[in-house]
Amino acid sequence: MALLPIIKYPDPRLHKVAKPVAAVTQQTRKLIKDMSETMYAAPGIGLAATQIDVHEQIVVIDVSETHDELRVFINPVILELDGVEESEEGCLSVPGIYETVKRANRVKVQALNENGETFQLEADGLLAVCIQHEIDHLQGKVFVEHLSHLKQTRIRAKLKKQRRETL
Q: Which residues are catalytic?
A: 134
Closest CB to Zn ion among 91 and 129? 91
Largest distance between two CA atoms of the chain: 47
Backbone CA torsion sign across 21, 27, 31, 33: positive
Integer angstrom CA distances of residue 37 from 7, 8, 159, 163: 16, 18, 25, 25
Closest listed residue to residue 97, CA positions, set 159, 30, 26? 159
Contacts (CB under 6 A) with ligand K1U, residues 103-142: 129-130, 133-134, 137
Residue in the shown chain whose Cβ atom is closest to Zn ion: 91
Q: Looking at 57, 60, 89, 135, which residue binds ligand K1U (CB under 6 A)?
A: 89
Select from 9-17, 19-27, 74-82, 87-95 the region that touches ligand K1U (CB under 6 A): 87-95
Select from 3-11, 59-67, 68-76, 84-92 the region that touches Zn ion (CB under 5 A): 84-92
* Separation CA 14–CA 159 (nearest Å): 15
Amino acid at the residue 93: S
| 92 sits near ligand K1U (criterion: CB under 6 A) | yes
Q: Three-state SS for 145?
A: helix
Q: Looking at 50, 93, 135, 144, which residue binds ligand K1U (CB under 6 A)?
A: 93
Binding residues for ligand K1U, rule CB under 6 A, total 16
Residues that bind ligand K1U (CB under 6 A): 43-48, 89-93, 129-130, 133-134, 137
